[in-house]
């Protein structure tokens, strides 16, 4: 875990003063680091029946698609507004640095689909909460949420009291 942490770059005051941005591009470009991160994220779900990985734009796409490939599931994107071409469901949320809306294709998940939600980082939990709401609105079941990084001081878990959370690296 220390080796993975050493591959993550801290960028102070991005995108706003006072935010310490956890830059994972330095981990993604390292072949061993990328493989190890995806291994760690996929491992708890190897024996769990899953139908889809839902990844949150944009770093959740990179990790989520790799996890889907490992676990033999499909991949569904949750995107920023106006990016998805067909009919969408949407949910607004508060971010550590502002507010935003997320969208998912209404027909992306069916009733009874078992879903794992993936993102790079859990901060205040607003993004993840909105993602859970979108998945449930489509009638699918949230089996769990997996994050590479958890910023524990921001207590994102409080937004997700009834969910199964897994985080690889805690700060």
Active site residue ranges: 59, 96
The burial class, CB within 10 Å (0-12 / 13-18 / 19+), for 111 is exposed
End-to-end CA distance of the chain: 12
Which has the closest alpha carbon to 133: 157, 120, 117?
A: 117
CB 116 within 8 A of CB 143: yes
The burial class, CB within 10 Å (0-12 / 13-18 / 19+), for 167 is buried
127 touches ligand AMP (CB under 6 A): yes
125 touches ligand AMP (CB under 6 A): yes
Smallest separation (angstroms) from ligand AMP to the CB of 101: 12
Which span sits near ligand AMP by CB under 6 A: 16-24, 46-54, 79-87, 163-171? 16-24
122 touches ligand AMP (CB under 6 A): yes
- Residue 166 β-bridge partners: 146
167 touches ligand AMP (CB under 6 A): no
Smallest separation (angstroms) from ligand AMP to the CB of 57: 8
For residues 60 and 53, what is the distance between their CA atoms, to the nearest angstrom? 10
Query: Judged by CB under 6 A, which of 30, 51, 96, 137 binds ligand AMP?
Result: 96
121 touches ligand AMP (CB under 6 A): yes
Instruction: For helices 59-71 and 31-42, give the axis angle rounded to 10 degrees.
Output: 70
150 touches ligand AMP (CB under 6 A): no
Q: How many residues bind ligand AMP (CB under 6 A)?
A: 19
Smallest separation (angstroms) from ligand AMP to the CB of 49: 26
For ligand AMP, the binding residues (CB under 6 A) are 19-22, 56, 59, 95-96, 119-128, 156
């Amino acid at each position: 875990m220390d080796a993975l942490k050493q591959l993550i770059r801290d960028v102070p005051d991005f995108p706003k003063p006072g935010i310490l941005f956890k830059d994972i591009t330095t981990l993604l470009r390292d072949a061993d680091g990328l493989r190890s991160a995806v291994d760690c994220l996929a491992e708890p779900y190897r024996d769990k029946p899953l139908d889809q990985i839902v990844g949150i734009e944009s770093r959740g796409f990179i990790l989520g698609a790799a996890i889907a490939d490992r676990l033999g599931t499909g991949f569904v994107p949750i995107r920023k507004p106006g990016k998805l071409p067909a009919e969408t469901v949407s949910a607004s949320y508060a971010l550590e640095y502002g507010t935003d809306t997320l969208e998912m294709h209404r027909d992306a998940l069916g009733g009874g689909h078992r879903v794992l939600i993936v993102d790079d980082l859990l901060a205040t939990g607003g993004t993840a909460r909105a993602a859970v709401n979108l998945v449930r609105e489509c009638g699918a079941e949230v089996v769990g949420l997996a994050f590479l990084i958890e910023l524990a001081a921001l207590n994102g878990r409080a937004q997700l009291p009834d969910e199964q959370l897994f985080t690889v690296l805690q700060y």
